[in-house]
């Protein structure tokens, strides 16, 4: 008579649990880690230090005169205060010596790039708090790691379409295609 295999003979619950954990580790940790490239800002810029001086977001992240959004400040803007080293932080010294004094713009990494087919305008969203879409940078002493999806090329923090649509719907704003797409 043939011997029947039972679960106890195949090792019990332990291999199952180990396999499950291994699969979860691959899916939740290894794959996301492999999917996103990690890069660091060329200068350790501290939003926190600047916020503590009483500066607001739009003191540096300005709208241009034509209503478009200038995004990150350039050397001209930063140089208003940092034409020379004003503090004791080595990162600031590096910034002044390597960029300001050489008239070279810093190749800052953008955390939330828009996909090519999206037309987003900051001027229409000025009634919103910055932190509704952006991380609260005022608590941030050193810039977070920038993570970019190796397959799509999108930044990890790029807003998803459902996030835009939900806010539009909640605020009674049109969700017609050409409101956001180009």
Partner 1 sequence: MEKQEFKIKWGMVIDLDKCTGCGACMVSCQVENNIAPQQDASNKLRTLTWMNVFEMNNGQAFPDHEIAYLPRPCMQCGSPACVPVCPVVATDKNEEGGIVSQIYPRCIGCRYCMGACPYHARYFNWDDPVFPAGMEKTLSPNTSARPRGVVEKCSFCHTRWGRAKERARKEGVDTMDMPQEWYQTACTTACPGGVIQFGDVNNPKHSVYELVRSKYAFRLLERLGLDPQVWYVSKREWVRMLGDNYLESEKAKKHA
Binding site for partner 1 (CB under 8 A): 63, 65-68, 116-117, 119, 121, 123-124, 126, 174, 176-179, 181-182
**Residue (93 or 181) nearer to partner 1, CB:** 181
Q: ∠ CA 159-160-161 to the nearest 5 degrees?
A: 120
Contacts 24+ apart (CB under 8 A), 30-35: 34/150, 35/149, 35/150, 35/151
**Residue (30 or 124) nearer to partner 1, CB:** 124
CA 79 – CA 44 distance, rounded (Å): 16
> Closest distance between partner 1 and the C-beta of residue 154, in Å?
13
> Closest distance between partner 1 and the C-beta of residue 178, in Å?
4
> Closest distance between partner 1 and the C-beta of residue 26, in Å?
30
Record the tokens describing residue 73, joined without a space.
């400040």
**Residue (22 or 161) nearer to partner 1, CB:** 161
Please tell me what DSSP assigns to residue 176.
-
């Amino acid at each position: 008579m043939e011997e029947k295999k039972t679960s106890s003979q195949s090792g019990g619950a332990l291999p199952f649990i180990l396999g499950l954990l291994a699969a979860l580790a691959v899916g939740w940790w290894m794959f996301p880690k492999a999917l996103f490239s990690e890069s660091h800002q060329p200068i350790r810029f501290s939003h926190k230090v600047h916020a503590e001086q009483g500066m607001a977001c739009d003191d540096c992240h300005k709208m241009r005169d034509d209503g478009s959004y200038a995004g990150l400040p350039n050397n001209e803007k930063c140089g208003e205060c940092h034409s020379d080293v004003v503090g004791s932080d080595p990162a600031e010294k590096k910034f002044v010596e390597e960029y300001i004094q050489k008239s070279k713009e810093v190749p800052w990494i953008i955390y939330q790039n828009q996909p090519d087919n999206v037309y987003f305008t900051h001027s229409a969203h000025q009634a919103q708090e910055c932190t509704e879409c952006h991380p609260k940078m005022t608590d941030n002493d050193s810039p977070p790691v920038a993570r970019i999806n190796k397959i799509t090329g999108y930044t990890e923090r790029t807003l998803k379409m459902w996030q835009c649509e939900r806010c539009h719907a909640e605020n009674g704003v049109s969700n017609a295609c050409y409101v956001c797409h180009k």
